[in-house]
Structure 1
Amino acid sequence: MKVAILGNQARAMVNFWSVLIRRLRTLGHEVLCIVPDADTDTEGRAALEAMGARVAGYPLDRKGLNPVRDAATFAALYRVFRQERPDVAFCFTIKPVIYGATAAALARVPARYAMITGLGYMFEADSPIKRVLTKVAALLYRVALACVRTVFFQNMEDRRVFEDNHIIPHSTSVAMCRGTGVALNHFALAEPVLDPPTFLLVGRLLEAKGLREYAGAARLLKAKHPDARFRVLGPPETGPGSVPLSEVEGWTREGIIEYLGQTRDVRPYVADASVVVLPSWREGTPCSVMEGMSMGRAAVVTDAPGCREVVEDGVNGFRVPLRDPEALAAAMERFIADRSLIARMGQAGRRLAETEFDADKVSEHILRIMRLA
């Protein structure tokens, strides 16, 4: 069969779906990866092709709210699906699901599936404009999900939001999965750094990742533990909900945060850390935390949807309230005060990754539901 995988970044497709793509190729399926034309990540495209996939492009404004541009996205996806005629379309992230699933149905792709990887900016209904966006997004999702056989959710809270807003049609089945999983051999166990205690946040520069809370916690802890290191690794973002790069660089000049820029391979940075931190407001299932767990790193996360699925409080890390720098600092300080927690909770995280988040098991689960394995 020909399987089309539609996403919003070549890098994300490589990082999150490599195991699935390789498994599809091993089973003898043809794989078409559809990524944005504006994505200049030639290395990401080359990596997809090295897995045996073909790559096609389409226009996408990931963050924009321009209906004319979104209409162009929809029309282009319809043309791609009509030309390629895949047997299966698998769409993930917001706009690829909303426009891709509908375009695939109109182009008569026989089997269509969607994965909700997180609710994103439009479901943060904390202002009048966001409440309007929530209603628009709910309507668009309702149309798109009426076009798919199965919608996958990565956590129960996201599923409940969709159910409470009557977004999932009765004709569409619902399945749960452990995010995209983590490649255990790729993110191999490594001894954590104990001295100096080093905390690492991996994520795009978005306010919803809890970047400002992390900086606030680092400021509090630096005053008491000047040797402790607080690092941020991730690409800059623009548009609604982003944290300006200039603000992050200001924290660096202040001496509280080390901004490491972006990378294709997080493993050296995780290896040079004691604990991974993600004070996110909401996640699907946080890949950065799963990758850290696989490498034997304890975690500090918020008690938020998605995050609470990967961290058992007091076992492989700590959970703290949302948007609370003081509580975040207190949890991080426990690792500074008792370095034995770093190794003990890191080992527990690795065990949890092996039993619950193995990407091979996650991929097999998805492919069985899609009737491809």
Structure 2
Amino acid sequence: MKIVICINTAWNILNFRRGLIEALLQDGHQVIALAPRDSFANELVALGCQFVDMPMPNGGTNPIEDLRLLSRMKGYFRAERPDILLSYTAKPNIYGSIAAKATGIPVINNVAGLGAAFISKSLLTVVVKILYRHALRTSDRVFFQNATDRDLFVTERLVDVKQTGLLPGSGINLKRFQPETRKRANEPFRFLLIGRMLRDKGVVEFVEAARELGRRHHNVDFALLGAADYDNPAAISRQQVDEWVRDGLVTYLGTRKDVRAEIAAADCVVLPSYREGTPRTLLEAAAMAKPIVATDAVGCREVVAHGENGLLCRVADAADLAAKLEQMLLLSDEARAAMGAAGRLKMQREFDETLVIQHYRKAIAEIARESHPNK
């Protein structure tokens, strides 16, 4: 089959869907990556994909630009006639689904997280719900990464429960992410937050917690890893990040093509996010046997069992985050190691990437039978 995978960045396809792509290629399918071109596009080609540049206004809400995207997608699907579309992230899920269905192409959606539009409860929330309802009503499958998001979509009548399925996030490659520590004697205890520099990721609360703990503990480093000045309404500017660095509150590591070395150098991985699908950074940290501090929020609580493989704090509460970080800091090395081991075991039981691939293989085979019943 000719299978299109559409996501809002080539980086996202490569980092989160590599295992799925390799499996589909192994099964003999042709895989086309449809996304805005960036520096990772050539790596997708090297993996065995065809790459098609699809410019996409990721963070904007300009209806003219969105209609242009819809038109471009319809034109592509009419010309290329793929057998199936696998879509991820908001705009591919909405406009990709509408375009595919307008041209008779089956669709499997993946709603990985609801993002700022659902957190803010604004007029934008109403518009996005209307768009999702229209886009998903004829989708063949709609996968969710946690039951809370699925229940919300079903309750709001954005999707029929019969269309839906649950996945353990994007899954984690347990061979690629293995327990490893890269610490030298006398290095500071490092808390590491990995994610785009967005307010919704709890970055501001992390910095406030660093400010509070820095007054009482002097051999501790609070590190940020991820892109600043991201095209998103909740973005934190690079100027603000640099100011925090000058004030001695955090270390900013920029971005990394491969985060494993930074996770290995951390003592604890932190994600004080307001809402997630299933956060990949926490799956990577747990797979590498790192204890975690995260918010008791949708998506995070599915990965972190409080007191077992990490600690959960209240959402948007810098004081409670600081208390949980201090609790983690004061644990013995043995207690933190036990949390890390419990996290690795949880990944093996619940979040192995092979589970996600099995779900997709089954859905694709079912759609193939429905589309070609005589074969």
Cα distance change on mapping 1:139 and 1:90 into 2, 3 Å: same
Q: What pairs with 1:1-373 in structure 2 (closer than 5 Å)?
A: 1-36=1-36, 39=37, 41-42=38-39, 44-109=40-105, 111-126=106-121, 130=122, 132-169=123-160, 173-191=163-181, 193=183, 195-236=187-228, 237-340=230-333, 341-371=335-365
Indicate if the aligned counterparts of 1:5 and 1:34 stay in contact, CA closer than 8 A.
yes
- Matched residue SS, 1:309: helix
- Matched residue SS, 1:226: coil
Which structure 2 residue ranges, 5 or more long, are not aligned? Answer: 369-375
- Letter matched to residue 201 of structure 1: L
Distance 2:232 2:17 in 1: 26
Q: CA deviation at 1:192?
A: 6.6
Distance 1:219 1:114 in 2: 41
Q: Say what the alpha-carbon RMSD is for the aligned residues.
A: 1.5
Q: Deviations over 1:75-105 (max 9, x none)?
A: 0011111122111101100000000011001
Distance 2:22 2:130 in 1: 35
Give the % identical residues: 37
- Letter matched to residue 161 of structure 1: L
- Letter matched to residue 201 of structure 2: K
Distance 2:178 2:301 in 1: 23
Q: CA deviation at 1:366?
A: 2.2
Q: CA deviation at 1:164?
A: 2.2
Distance 1:137 1:61 in 2: 15
Distance 1:208 1:176 in 2: 24
Distance 1:90 1:68 in 2: 25
Q: Deviations over 1:89-135 (max 9, x none)?
A: 011000000000110011211x2110101111111235xxx2x1111
Q: CA deviation at 1:342?
A: 2.1
Which structure 1 residue ranges, 5 or more long, are not aligned? Answer: none
Q: CA deviation at 1:160?
A: 1.9
Distance 1:153 1:351 in 2: 23
Distance 1:162 1:183 in 2: 29
- Matched residue SS, 1:361: helix
Distance 2:159 2:85 in 1: 18
Q: Deviations over 1:201-233 (max 9, x none)?
A: 000011000000000111111111111011000
Q: CA deviation at 1:325?
A: 1.0
Distance 1:192 1:302 in 2: 26
Indicate if the aligned counterparts of 2:119 and 2:275 stay in contact, CA closer than 8 A.
no
Q: CA deviation at 1:184?
A: 0.9
Indicate if the aligned counterparts of 1:60 and 1:73 stay in contact, CA closer than 8 A.
yes
Normalised TM-score (structure 1): 0.94
Q: Deviations over 1:6-43 (max 9, x none)?
A: 0000001001000000000000010011001xx4x23x
Q: CA deviation at 1:353?
A: 1.0
Q: CA deviation at 1:239?
A: 3.6
Distance 1:106 1:113 in 2: 15
How many residue pairs align between the two structures? 363
Q: CA deviation at 1:147?
A: 2.7
